[in-house]
Amino acid sequence: MVFGDLRGWIDHLRKEGELQEIDVEVDWNCELGTVARKAFGTGNGPALLFNNIKGYGEKARCSRVFTGGLSRYSRVAMMFGLPKSASITELVKAARTAYAGRVAPKIVDDGPVKEVVLTGDAIDLLEFPVPKWHREDGGRYINTLQGTVTMDPDTGRLNVGVYRGMVGQKNTIPSLLWRAQNWGGDFAKWVDRDQDMPVACVLGWEPCLPFCAASPLPPDVSEFEVMGALRGAPVELVRCETVPLLVPASAEVVIEGYISNDPKTFEMEGPFGEYTGYFGGDQGPKHTIRVTAITHRKRPILRGTLEGTLPKMLNENSIMSSVQRAALAWNVLERAGVPGITDVHCPAANNGTTLIIQMRQRYRGQAKQAAMAIWGSSASHLRYKHVWVVDEDIDVHDYAALDWAFAYRVNAAEDDIIFVPGTFGSALDPSTRLPLRDTLTYGTGKWCRVLIDATVNMDFAPEAQYDGNRYPPTVKPHPQDWDLVTRRWKEYGFKD
């Protein structure tokens, strides 16, 4: 699906009844974030366009904020060009196809994002209505669902990622930069050259940009090529003004700058209401983007999102992660040669920290093979802490089915629960002791990962009394009985 830009996406949502425009004045200081939290709800709320931000009238450089474009499965389906009613498994399969595709971007000479160019003293990040999303946040976070573009100086590969960053001074963005992330790998190469790393933060474009930027693709893959595959057309890119990078020509806002490794340039950042549902990344000195230029469209729309997931409180990252992380895990399993995978699911409530694999077992140890393949992948850095594996008769989208499988197919004494300690993991997980979350010292967090093998144990011998199966039959009625009762259902006096 090609929407052209953020405005084309917003127009599409408006036509589909998926957009709520808010014209009354809303305060950027916590009120906007609270409206978003309540509206997102359990993943059934609309996208939100705030048209009247307190202190940012019609004469302001920017007066509108858009959020929630991907906070509902129906809108993720629309992004893929699927029916709004498409199942989660269909979305996962669409993402797998996109991740496997490559459409090279197209470089153009100019675009709407160049309508206004700011440099030098004209740069002031607070001329944009950047929300303070939560009262406990360390500041106003401008980088929440942007696409931050960096480059591998050895190969020229452009990476696009989502990394948090808050407004420091009028021209600085202290950010959370980790070595294990793709831009951390790029940064290390620039440091080896004794050079600052150029960056460009893209705020507002088609929905495929945040979706792909938030996906943990392999380090040698440019997200711009995957975006092209997802939308079915090349991404048109234009050269930046002050950094040697390329950005979408029809983006709303682009912030250009450099990051130094000199601790003297670090600024205080954090905490931030993180994807775990807790405030994470405590306040401390962090790598800082020194802004050298801002380019934007006339009357730009600022793109941001509310982070943090709790039970019955989902958001864009919740919904996106449940599709992205399942699709990537399925691809990892396929590349590793694990057979018999029939479905993969990441519940939205935990943003992919838990992975559920449904398989048709062919041999003993297959569940352990699947878990080890997942944990050996770079995609597991911040996710897949806990892996469940179930048989194909268990619906991976049904918590009750999982609980039943856990109750009657898991025997810890038979090695159905496996612990793998000392692995790399999320430094934002509060269940990890605070000293072990020091990314400046260790580069990443420390996790003990867990496999729950809830499949029928193939070490059990097939039993004649079970018709050659390892387990007794379940109480589910036979098909002929079920069909008979279904045909006569209304005769019994029941409604449909």
pLDDT at 443: 80
**Per the structure block, which two tokens stand in for 437?**
């979350």
pLDDT band at 39 (very low <50, low <70, confident <90, very high): very high
Q: In angstroms, rounded to a whole number, what is the distance separating the alpha carbons of residues 496 and 493?
A: 10
**Per the structure block, which two tokens stand in for 55?**
């202190």
Q: Is the pLDDT of residue 496 over 80?
A: no
Q: Which residue has the tokens 């509310």?
A: 306
Q: Is the pLDDT of residue 186 over 90?
A: yes
Q: What is the separation of C-alpha 357 from the centre of its chain, rounded to a whole number of angstroms?
A: 19
User: Which residues make Cβ contacts (< 8 Å) with residue 343, sequence separation at least 6?
Assistant: 89, 357, 358, 392, 396
pLDDT, one tens digit per residue, over 378-433 is 889 889 999 999 999 999 999 999 999 999 999 999 999 999 999 988 888 888 88
CA dihedral (371, 372, 373, 374) positive or negative: positive
Q: In angstroms, rounded to a whole number, what is the distance separating the alpha carbons of residues 366 and 368?
A: 5
Sorted by where each starts, the structural domains of the chain and their CATH numbers stand as 316-454 (3.40.1670.10)
Mean pLDDT of the chain: 95
Backbone angles phi, psi at 71, to 5 degrees: -90, 15
pLDDT at 355: 97
pLDDT at 282: 83
Mean pLDDT is lowest, of 125-139, 183-197, 329-343, 428-442, for: 428-442
Mean pLDDT of 243-247: 98
pLDDT at 333: 97
pLDDT, one tens digit per residue, over 439-457 is 878 888 899 999 999 999 9
H helices, E strands: number in the chain: 12, 25
Peptide bond into 174 cis (omega under 30): no
With H, G, I as helix, E, B as strand and everything else as coil, classify residue 112.
helix
CB 278 within 8 A of CB 266: no
pLDDT band at 438 (very low <50, low <70, confident <90, very high): confident
**Per the structure block, which two tokens stand in for 403?**
């609980």
User: Which residues make Cβ contacts (< 8 Å) with residue 476, sequence separation at least 6?
Assistant: none
pLDDT, one tens digit per residue, over 106-141 is 999 999 999 999 999 999 999 999 999 999 999 999
pLDDT band at 1 (very low <50, low <70, confident <90, very high): confident
Quote the strand ranges of 262-353, DSSP E: 267-269, 272-273, 279-280, 284-286, 288-296, 301-303, 341-345
pLDDT at 226: 97
Let me know the angle formed at the C-alpha of 244 by 243 and 245, rounded to the nearest 5 degrees. Answer: 95
How far from 132 is each of 50, 138, 469, 484, CA to CA, in Å? Answer: 14, 9, 58, 59
